[in-house]
Amino acid sequence: MKKLPILFAVLFVALVLVMSSLFIVDERQKALVLQFGQIKSVKEEPGLAFKIPFIQEVVYYDDRILSLETPEIEVTPSDDRRLLVDAFARYRIADVVRFRQAVSTGGVRFAEDRLKGILNAQLREVLGADTVTSNTVISADRAELARRIRDQARAEAASLGVDIVDVRLKQTFLPDQNLEATFARMRAEREREAADERARGEEAAQRVRAQADRTVVELESDARRQAEITRGEADAEKNRIYAEAYGADPDFFEFYRSLDAYRAGLKGSNTTMVMSPDSEFFDYLKSDQGK
């Protein structure tokens, strides 16, 4: 009976030792087994694993893709227009051994501080290149700039055992002190474009008016020509008719022409004519008794 408590004690110690030597690696994690700070083994596959109890310890690292936001920094593209830029990066711990050697006990927080410094340096280098202007940064070409930042930052981050998966430029805007000057320049450019458009519109209007005036002159000239032709044809027809009438009855024709002359010469009620009484003009006004 006295051996029973000892047996329980032995079983308890054995159970503690077994439980202390077992650890579980989640599918979202990687694990390092350390002995007195030195790396003894790496566990990257999920499942149950063993370690020496009380001597070895396990450190876990996230195997998922992690997010990192850089602080806002000021960059100066080649056109000397200062910009405030911040970026968003996604990364993962690719080499857990190198990561541990690079950050030691600092962990992810220390690694992210290093990554922010790398990204900020690459932001300034890429966005400050000779071929990059502020318009390039805010245009569709910013995707290509972000790719260049990612590729260059990835090469440096490899020394930390980190793989930078993606980098995106979040916000790009002007410092407050530059906004008013930029707005003034934009207003001046828009006013210049508006003046150019008005000048081109006035030039087009002048061309249209000149063409319209020319068309009016041509139409009036053609109308006058047609009127003269018609008038000439009418006079010719009139003369032809007069000639036919004269040939048919000369006396009646002379009488008709005299009536036209009276009508034209004796207009109104106060017409004065000075001529000889025996003028032929009055032949058809004389009565037979006066002869």
| Least confident segment among 20-34, 124-138, 253-267 | 253-267
Per-residue pLDDT band at 257 (split at 50, 70, 90): confident
Reported pTM: 0.55
pLDDT of residue 84: 85
Residue type, 200: R
Q: Are 161 and 99 in contact (CB under 8 A)?
A: yes
Q: Are 53 and 33 in contact (CB under 8 A)?
A: no
Q: What is the pLDDT of residues 131-178, one digit of tens each?
A: 888 778 877 788 888 999 999 999 999 999 999 999 998 887 766 666
Over residues 225-250, the mean pLDDT reads 82
pLDDT of residue 291: 43
Over residues 266-283, the mean pLDDT reads 64
What percentage of the chain carries pLDDT values higher than 90?
Answer: 26
Q: Which residues of 187-211 are buried (b: 16+ CB within 10 A; e: fewer)?
A: eeeeeeeeeeeeeeeeeeeeeeeee
pLDDT over 70 (residue 29): yes
pLDDT of residue 286: 60
Average pLDDT over the chain reads 82
Over residues 86-100, the mean pLDDT reads 92
pLDDT over 80 (residue 11): no
pLDDT over 80 (residue 270): no
pLDDT of residue 24: 86
* Listed residue (113, 101, 105, 98) closest to 158, CA to CA: 98
pLDDT of residue 138: 78
pLDDT of residue 65: 92
Q: What is the pLDDT of residues 95-135, one digit of tens each?
A: 999 999 998 888 889 999 999 999 999 999 998 887 888 77
